[in-house]
A and B are shown apart, each in its own frame.
Chain A
Amino acid sequence: MKCEEVVEWMHRYLDHDLGEAETTQMLQHVAKCPECAENFSMLRALSRELEDLPQVSPRFSLVDAIMPQLDAIDEARKEQSSTVQEMSPVPAAFESLKRSSSSEQKAKTKWLNSMVGRMSVGAAAAAVVLGFAIWGYQPEQIENADSMLMSSGAPQDSNSEEQSAQRMYLKSDQGDITNQAEGSAIAPDSSNDPVTEGSMQPNADQPDESNGTELKTPEAPGDQESVKPSAEGPSSQDKGKQEVNSSPSSDSGNTQKSMDSGQGTEQKKPDTSEGSASTPNDKDGRSASESNDELDETFSAQTIIPNQDTPAQGSETDNAGTGTESGATGGQQGLMAPEQGIAAPTGTKEWKSPDGSYVVMLLGDQLSIYAKSANDPDVLNLIEQRSVEGTLKSGSWSKDSQQFNYEMDKDGATTKDIFKVSTSSNVSPAK
């Protein structure tokens, strides 16, 4: 038995992780090897001292100290729940979004409302359906879906005025036609809008993204708003499509980001899932049942549009609907769909140092720094592991391979951190 192995067993022995047979074997070695014997007695002494560390207690009752804060939390919760009850048809997420929106956004909302005044009833109804669909669907979402949603939300928002204006024109054009015709007439147009907008402006949402949730929150209502006009009438199919389309296309411009924000903050989740989380459900729930009927009616009028039957297909395939549908809507989106699929499962990132002797890996929110063993390049020794707060935005090695600089984004605040190789490798045990 090698001494090195014995040392490991000693540690495991101290942690009550060594079986009886192994213990005997280890002790036999220790009895014969004076070096290991010394090491063992020192380790044992250390472990005993660690076990004997004083069990400190706080000077005062911490629970008593935080009682006022706990009361405040309860108060806030009560208030919140009562508001939610009043507005019961509107999901809480939507509520809180509305509340948190900036005054500027509120002004915009008002403007939109006045313009769309007569549609607001229909919009609210659509929002309810959308909301429930979201709640129902959320847990099944891939984490990365957030980012897709986010990116889809942002360009939409930046164009929400434009978009709604466009839609409005459409509506006024066809104002005399029945609701159903109106709905389906809008469908192809509005589904195309986000595509072009999304793909033309992949960068437009990046600043939003990097600025984090503060910006994000006020945006979401805008997003909602922009959905409203189109949601008017029974054309939820229109909405579903629009979101589906916009997510892959804008995502393609931001694949990297989707990884980053995959671990997004809690705050972001409700906002963003609102956008795309609803898509499949929305389709399932509505377009399958209701809009199918509508489609039949409108089909004859608008046979040219290939989009029209795609939602029906999509609705049968749930998640895959995204692929199917975007594939059908146009080559552009068809190309993007696979990319989206690739971006989704990515979770690990790696940075090799320029001289190749260190590797930094990002797994989930753990940043691990490994040193390559001099003897065997395949062996990685973990030097340090850190957890990343928020999302890791970027990371890079210095030229001399001595420093790894990285930036994290948490709740809109960017923090920089440095990992120095030299300092920590000093600390690692000499063998």
Chain B
Amino acid sequence: MVEPELIRAAQSGDRDALITLLREIEQHVYRTAYYILNNEQDALDAAQEALIRIYTKINSYEEKAQFKTWVQRIVTNICIDKFRRTKPSVSIDEHEMVFQDKQDVEFEVMSTYVAKDIQDAINKLPEHHRTVIVLRYLQDLSYNEIADCLDLPLNTVKSYLFRARQQLQNLLQEYQKGGVTG
């Protein structure tokens, strides 16, 4: 949780405050990017882009919105953008490369086998479903906060989330049955 005083200081032109603020949100920004894009390099790029955007646009943040949703809105927009741009062009080679790359990272961070399955399954969700899942579970946002973040009606957020969970469940069942896991 970023202190309002820090945000105000940053907005009034205190560069140190702004940098401190960026350091505080850096992890959250990266986490969202990582789970939406499912690729470390893309996530690093997207998170940096988001931080730069926050740096330049800090004055456009208004206190009536929650700072964390404002931040997440920026990251998710960048990610969805990136996701769309890269998705059609991902060749099989690239895919494998990414996968290997990821394994190293995952080796450290993944505690269970199941987590990897889930992450694969998340990766198969349509972008908005995936985004909603990430905001709900990685950022711990409420329905309302997700709606603010993505500019979606509350009911749409709910139905995305419900459907996403249903899809994840189906996918994970498939994994268990057929051993689709790679």
Q: Are B47 and A62 in contact (CB under 8 A)?
A: yes
Count of residues in A whose CB is under 8 Å from the partner chain? 45
Shortest CB-to-CB span from B171 to chain A, Å, is: 10
> Given A59, A63, A429, which contacts B163 in the complex, CB threshold below 8 Å?
A429
Decide if A21 is an interface residue (CB 8 Å cutoff). Answer: no
> Given A11, A54, A74, which contacts B15 in the complex, CB threshold below 8 Å?
A74
How far is A218 from B125 in the complex, measured between Cα atoms in Å?
A: 43
Q: Are B26 and A382 in contact (CB under 8 A)?
A: no
| B163-182 vs A, Cβ < 8 Å mask (1 yes, 0 no) | 10111111010000000000
Decide if B35 is an interface residue (CB 8 Å cutoff). Answer: yes
Known contacts: A63-B51, A429-B170. The answer to whether A11 contacts B165 by CB under 8 A is yes
Count of residues in B whose CB is under 8 Å from the partner chain? 58
Q: Are B26 and A62 in contact (CB under 8 A)?
A: yes
Please, which residues of chain B bring their CB within 8 A of the CB of A385? 128, 152, 156, 160
Q: Are A49 and B51 in contact (CB under 8 A)?
A: no
Q: Are A73 and B128 in contact (CB under 8 A)?
A: no
Known contacts: A46-B169, A56-B109, A73-B55. The answer to whether A11 contacts B115 by CB under 8 A is no
Known contacts: A73-B55, A385-B156, A427-B167. The answer to whether A57 contacts B27 by CB under 8 A is yes
Decide if B2 is an interface residue (CB 8 Å cutoff). Answer: no
Please, which residues of chain A bring their CB within 8 A of the CB of B55? 66, 70, 73
Q: Are A63 and B115 in contact (CB under 8 A)?
A: no
Of the listed residues B43, B48, B142, B160, the one surrounded by the most CB atoms of chain A closer than 10 A to its CB is: B48
Decide if A303 is an interface residue (CB 8 Å cutoff). Answer: no
Please, which residues of chain A bring their CB within 8 A of the CB of B48? 62, 65-66
Known contacts: A61-B23, A73-B52, A384-B126. The answer to whether A53 contacts B169 by CB under 8 A is no
Q: Which residues of chain B in 126-169 are interfacial with respect to chain A, using CB atoms and an 8 Å cutoff?
A: 126-128, 133, 136-138, 142-143, 151-152, 156, 158-163, 165-169
Known contacts: A11-B162, A61-B26. The answer to whether A43 contacts B34 by CB under 8 A is no
How far is A50 from B140 in the complex, measured between Cα atoms in Å?
A: 11
Query: Could you tell me which A residues sit within 8 Å of B by CB distance?
Result: 7-8, 11-12, 14-17, 42-43, 46-47, 49-59, 61-63, 65-66, 69-70, 73-74, 364, 366, 382, 384-387, 389, 417, 424, 427-429
Query: Could you tell me which B residues sit within 8 Å of A by CB distance?
Result: 15, 19, 22-23, 26-27, 29-31, 34-35, 40, 43-44, 47-48, 51-52, 55-56, 77, 80-81, 84, 105, 109-112, 114-115, 118-119, 126-128, 133, 136-138, 142-143, 151-152, 156, 158-163, 165-170, 172
